[in-house]
Amino acid sequence: MNLPNKLTVLRMIAVPFFIACYMINYNHWALVIFNLASQTHILDGKIARKYNLVTNFGKIMDPLADKILVYSAFCMMVENKTVPGWMLIVILAREFIVAGMRTVAASEGIVVAAGMSGKIKTVAQMIAVPLLLMLGVFPDSIILYYLAYGFLWASLVMTVVSGTEYIWKNKNVFSM
């Protein structure tokens, strides 16, 4: 297993530790773990592209590891009402629709690449989560509150935009 794939696996391994810290209100540690895990996303992609270490495992598991990390955080945040449940439902619905379409397309030998709006969605989510985590560390910061929820809303908007764009660009998958 090459280094980028090891970093992807490390990101998935970090999730239970993040969840445990979050659940026992060790917000500082949850924030550190989430940020370090998020950095592996940036690092594994750069290394894979620079040294031509792109693998099928990485193509599948890298975005999956991102989703496991981010959506685990959102699930935990729904429980303590940091994130409204309906937002998580919209986010997950988009993911299930896209995953379903990719599965159907793959069964027909069609590879559907991620679009730029989906990448922007992921970045917005990976910024929103640590900002929301910081609210647990600095609960009285009004600026942080608006910044965190601004990114949360931006990620929701990009979820809808990227999902709509994905469906529109790949509507032929529905006619198979």
pTM over 0.85: yes
> Does residue 105 contact residue 173 with C-beta atoms inside 8 Å?
yes
Across the range 90-95, mean pLDDT stands at 96
Which string of DSSP letters, residue by residue, matches 63-115? HHHHHHHHHHHHHHHHHTTSS-HHHHHHHHHHHHHHHHHHHHHHHTT---PPP
What percent of the chain shows pLDDT beyond 90? 70
d(CA 7, CA 74): 22
Q: What is the phi/psi pair of residue 109, to 5°?
A: 80, 15
pLDDT (tens digit, 9 = 90+) per residue, 133-154? 999 889 999 999 999 999 999 9
Q: What is the phi/psi pair of residue 135, to 5°?
A: -65, -30
pLDDT (tens digit, 9 = 90+) per residue, 28-76? 999 999 999 999 988 998 999 899 998 888 888 998 999 999 999 999 9
Domains and CATH numbers, the chain: 3-175 (1.20.120.1760)
Q: What is the mean pLDDT of the chain?
A: 92
d(CA 26, CA 20): 8
Residue-level pLDDT at 176:
57
